[in-house]
Amino acid sequence: MNAHSPRPSATAAAPGVAPARKKKTGSRAWRAVRHNLPFLIGASILLAVALIAICAGVLYPGDPRDMVTLPLSWPLTDNEYPLGSGSLGTDLASGLAHGAQASLLVGVSAASVGLLIGILVGAIGGYFGGIADDILVRITELFQTVPTFLLVIVLVAISGPSLPIIAGAIGVATWPTVARLVRAEFRTLRSNDFVLAARSLGYSTTRIIFGEILPNALPPIVVTTSVLAANAILTEAGLSFLGMGDPNLVSWGSMIADGRSLLRTEWFVTALPGAAITLTVLSLNLVGDGLNDILNPRSESNR
Amino acid sequence: MAAGRVVKVLSKTLPQAVPTMLGIVVLNFLLLKMLPGDVADTIAMEAGSATAESMAALRERLGLNLGLFDQVLVYLNNLIHLDLGKSARLGAPVTTLILGRLPDTLMLVLTALGFALVTGVLLGWIMSAFAGKWPDRLISVVLIFVYAMPGFWLGLMAIVLFSVKLGWLPSNGSASIGANYQGWAYFIDRLRYLVMPALALSLFYAAIYARLTRSAMLEVQQQDFMRTAAAKGLHPIVMQFRHALRNALIPVTTVAGMHLGNMLGGAMVIETVFGWPGMGSLALDSVINRDFAVLLGILLLSSLLVILANVIVDILQSWLDPRIELR
Amino acid sequence: MKTVPVLEVLDLAIGFPAARAVHGVSFEIHKGEMMALVGESGCGKSLTAFAIMRLLPPGARIQNGQVIFDGTDLATISPRELRRIRGNGISLILQEPMTSLNPVLTVGVQVAEIIRQHQNLSRAAAKARVLELFDLVGITEPHKRYDQYPHNFSGGMRQRVMIAMAVACNPALLIADEPTTALDVTIQAQVMDLLDKLRRELSMAVLLITHDLGVVAQWADRVAVMYAGRIVETAPVQKFFSAPQHPYSMGLLNSSVSNGEGAWHYTNHRLSEIKGSVASAAQATGCSFAPRCRHVIAPCHGGQPKLEAVEKGWLATCCRAQNQEERIHEFA
């Protein structure tokens, strides 16, 4: 299922020439991108969301929690506030834009934390093997056994809800996926010719791991990153919905929580932020699937 | 499946499960240590007043004056006696509190898992049968959306549709209070409360299993033994059922087993949405009230449940896939 | 021959959406006869075999021709009628014994399945029949083996299971697609011996698909050589090996290593190769072998030559085949 494209092995022992996949696959990858409609759709949505998030402060200056209009006007009824208003007369459009900021920020930073830990653990275990690997695998299994969402909640409950803590907690709870993947990649790559060449040239272990092997293990890691970010956004939404999000930020999850009491009448207050989450997560998934097809041409048939 | 085979699987998987269990206990202990203040503070807070002497005595009694390693041992010893401490807020033993909520959570999670498996496998099967044609494409698009929706939001939207607009299903609780239904009526009543939360929890996973089943079924169709089966003159439905599906189920069960933990976590939010009186709402209550003994107890028990699920999956696997040799 | 053939293939054409792979193949097989269909990989021999049971891979279709079995045309009968024939009248053995059995079902169940599909037997009776069959094909300890899974069997043993399955309903025709290619040489002989014994005992016709001329020489009665989707020569085995008519047949014999009587061997004769590849046969006019043939004469480019009788039961599609004197001279 998880077929990766065959790795070019460097026959030349020239220093620093771990086979760079980009060069070889460059033009073919571009063609694959242009013909991959789901990827293009996903990338466009993601780009739009990111743009809104970045420009939120400019488009909607002022606190999205401020009362600006009459409460609970339905979408498309007020030209000034096209997406309607919340229970306290907040502008939902402004909330969604600022929420995009919070969601993407959490998604990106949680994925980074997860990647960092996962790559470190996976690379060390996969490259060195032996006892170090055994111990790291055990720890990875341990963290996979603990229910992710519960662990995040416990960590946030202990350390207090702020955006860095939330992102860190999500990262800490989700790194095992990355670690397993990186470990598998390293185990197959470590006996390749270009690693032997680098070793025979007396490169330091750190340089071999991060300079030679890691670039070649990147494609599947890139694909996983989008999944990681998507899951982080979903987890953050759940946290904020439970009232455990950063109290200083408006996030899509907290907007849903706000709308909950109005569910019987003004359900759009709940529906809109949920749709925003869905769209963003959807775009990340499409990008991930697309990247998988583009970077691993052989596996495109099993999607 | 022979009982001997089960014993064999257990003898192989249990020794692997024990270190993980120990690790989880240690992790839990460390999280406990991360808390501001210790158990003595909590108890003192509960009592309302404390002197320095009484605190010291309390710490000694609780073993808090011991070294870290000895403390782990004390903690372990308590665990073996099913003692997870007392809830600071409710005064009841944590074990009792959690076990009281466990059945409802298990009912929700297992129903959701079962539903996700049945729906997912069925949809995946249909998709594989129509691979590349419009039913496949249509279901794929729907699944991509379902896969991206937060379950709790899906639940809220279901409440809007089925409870508010249509008035078909109750939106809060796990049974009609004071109705005192008997037999069939009781079953139906519980079912009406169960449908929406289980659905909200399961659809995300159903989407995963559908995609997985689709690709596994397509892979199986290309195998030589499917041609052998056709050459025997078997009906296509028999071929799909007896020969293809069972092979395709192997990867699906592996993944489904790994999802139990995620579902327990997801159930927390879903239970809150639907006022379902399970472990999840207990956990949320304890977060709000900073009742960490309960919260950590839930984390511990959920992890142990996941280990149990892994063992069950191993047994199931050895039955589905005889190639898994029992060395 | 006066008897009605068990199977009669008439002008069978098989194509993929992009191109045609088999161009009008005709042959017949008689009761108890083992006929070998030989040729390089890609010549269409396996497609032809699968087409008989309508088990073509996705995309491939029968585009023309008839497959007459038991008075009906298998190419056009309903799926329901076809299922009555599959496994019952005609059965199939595949090349790769490691993958042709379902890994998650016991071999006993898999053999019993075919019996229960076609015969109205109870579970117990079917099991008794399976044990009998296991004994017949030389699987020792049938009782113990019945409940084992394919991965408990060696390649040769699995092929025996496949054979037990194939002969379970006493079919009139057995199609064996390279049944010994994946096996060790010693096991190959055992399996072929078994097939040979069974076809005599059950007077079953066998269509043997192979590229191994050694196997053909030793076990087959008749041989049909396929090249680029056409049968280029069909002959009784002795005649074929002593005096092949088609230049392609000669090439095949020259390039094969065999100890069979009268066959060429690298110890006494230099192995030669057939120049070029099947791919070069795609060009339109003339004999499809002409681009690779060493003996091309003018008529070769005139059009695809017909299969014509050299003598009774011996046909070839070569413009020069009729000129025996010249042929023998060239070949020697």
CATH number of the structural domain spanning residue A171? 1.10.3720.10
Of B228, B230, B233, the CB nearest to C101: B228
- The pLDDT value recorded for residue A269 is 77
- The pLDDT value recorded for residue C282 is 52
- The pLDDT value recorded for residue B172 is 80
Domain residue limits, chain C: 243-332
Q: Which residues of C touch B320 (CB under 8 A)?
A: 104
Is C102 in Cβ contact with B225 (below 8 Å)?
yes
B220 in contact with chain C, both atoms CB, cutoff 8 A: no
A242–chain B nearest CA distance, Å? 7
Of B20, B145, B283, the CB nearest to A145: B20
- For C4-17, the pLDDT digits (tens) are 888 999 888 888 88
Of B251, B265, B298, the CB nearest to A148: B265
B208-212, B260-264, C251-255: lowest mean pLDDT where? Answer: C251-255
Of B148, B150, B290, the CB nearest to A285: B148
Assess whether pLDDT exceeds 80 at residue B175: no
B7-21, C143-157, C174-188: lowest mean pLDDT where? Answer: B7-21
Q: How many CB atoms lie within 10 A of CB C42?
A: 15
Is A281 in Cβ contact with B153 (below 8 Å)?
no
C271 in contact with chain B, both atoms CB, cutoff 8 A: no
Q: Please give the average per-residue pLDDT across C107-118, as a whole number.
A: 90
Q: Which residue of A lies nearest to B167 if distances are taken between CA atoms?
A: A264
Answer whether C82's CB lies under 8 Å from C74's CB: yes
Angle at C210 between CA C206 and CA C212, to 5 degrees: 125
- The pLDDT value recorded for residue C272 is 57
B268 in contact with chain A, both atoms CB, cutoff 8 A: yes
By CB atoms closer than 10 A (0-12, 13-18, 19+), residue B324 is middle
Alpha helix stretches (DSSP H) within chain B = 3-34, 39-47, 52-62, 68-80, 94-129, 134-148, 151-158, 183-221, 224-231, 236-238, 246-274, 279-288, 292-320
By CB atoms closer than 10 A (0-12, 13-18, 19+), residue A65 is middle
* Chain C interface test: which of B218, B225, B318 (most C C-beta within 10 Å): B225
Q: Which residue of B lies nearest to A285 if distances are taken between CA atoms?
A: B148
In a domain, residue A21? The reply is: no
- For C194-242, the pLDDT digits (tens) are 889 888 888 899 999 988 888 888 888 998 888 888 888 888 888 888 8
CA distances from A117 to A123, A206, A233, B167, C267 (A): 10, 16, 19, 48, 65
C46 in contact with chain B, both atoms CB, cutoff 8 A: no
Q: How many CB atoms lie within 10 A of CB C157?
A: 20
Q: Please give the average per-residue pLDDT across C278-299, as a whole number.
A: 63
CA dihedral A75, A79, A80, A86 (to 10 degrees): -20
Q: Which residue of A lies nearest to B266 if distances are taken between CA atoms?
A: A149
Is B235 in Cβ contact with C88 (below 8 Å)?
no
ipTM: 0.84
- The pLDDT value recorded for residue A71 is 66
A18–chain B nearest CA distance, Å? 34
Q: Which residue has the tokens 């085995």?
A: C237
Domains of chain B: 99-320 (1.10.3720.10)
Structure tokens at B230: 């056709």
Full domain range(s) for residue A124: 31-60+91-302
Assess whether pLDDT exceeds 80 at residue C48: yes
Q: Which residues of C touch B242 (CB under 8 A)?
A: 105, 113
Smallest CA-to-CA distance from C49 within B227, B237, B223 is with B227
B147 in contact with chain A, both atoms CB, cutoff 8 A: yes
- The pLDDT value recorded for residue C207 is 92
- The pLDDT value recorded for residue B79 is 77
B261 in contact with chain A, both atoms CB, cutoff 8 A: yes
- Angle at which helix A214-241 crosses helix A148-159, to 10 degrees, equals 70
Q: How many CB atoms lie within 10 A of CB C132?
A: 12
- The pLDDT value recorded for residue A300 is 41
Q: How many CB atoms lie within 10 A of CB A161?
A: 18
Q: CB pairs below 8 Å between B and C: how many?
A: 74
- For B193-202, the pLDDT digits (tens) are 888 999 999 9
Of A148, A243, A274, the CB nearest to B157: A274
* Residue segments in chain A with a per-residue pLDDT below the cut of 50: 1-24, 299-303
B62 in contact with chain A, both atoms CB, cutoff 8 A: no
Of B224, B230, B322, the CB nearest to C149: B322
CA separation for the pair C73, B223 (Å, rounded): 28
C84 in contact with chain B, both atoms CB, cutoff 8 A: yes
- The pLDDT value recorded for residue A216 is 83
Instruction: Tell me which chains share at least 3 CB pairs under 8 Å with chain A.
Output: B
B249 in contact with chain C, both atoms CB, cutoff 8 A: no
Q: Model confidence at C280, in pLDDT bands (50, 70, 90)?
A: very low
Looking at chain B, the whole-number percentage of residues with pLDDT higher than 90 is 20
Count of the separate structural domains present in chain A: 1
- For B26-79, the pLDDT digits (tens) are 888 788 777 765 555 665 665 556 677 777 776 666 666 666 677 777 777 777
Structure tokens at C100: 């042709």
Q: Model confidence at C266, in pLDDT bands (50, 70, 90)?
A: very low
Q: Model confidence at C332, in pLDDT bands (50, 70, 90)?
A: very low
Smallest CA-to-CA distance from C187 within C217, C153, C152, C147 is with C153
pTM: 0.82
Residues 6+ apart with CB under 8 A from B283: A150, A153, B268, B294, B295, B298
CA separation for the pair A108, C164 (Å, rounded): 60
Q: Model confidence at C189, in pLDDT bands (50, 70, 90)?
A: confident
In a domain, residue A65? The reply is: no
In a domain, residue A142? The reply is: yes
Residue type, A199: R
Of B228, B232, B320, the CB nearest to C117: B232
Assess whether pLDDT exceeds 90 at residue C310: no
CA separation for the pair B251, C205 (Å, rounded): 42
* Neighbour-count burial for C306-316, b at 16+ CB within 10 Å, e otherwise: ebeebeeebbb
Assess whether pLDDT exceeds 90 at residue B214: yes
Q: Model confidence at B127, in pLDDT bands (50, 70, 90)?
A: very high
Q: Which residue of B lies nearest to A280 if distances are taken between CA atoms?
A: B148
- The pLDDT value recorded for residue B193 is 86
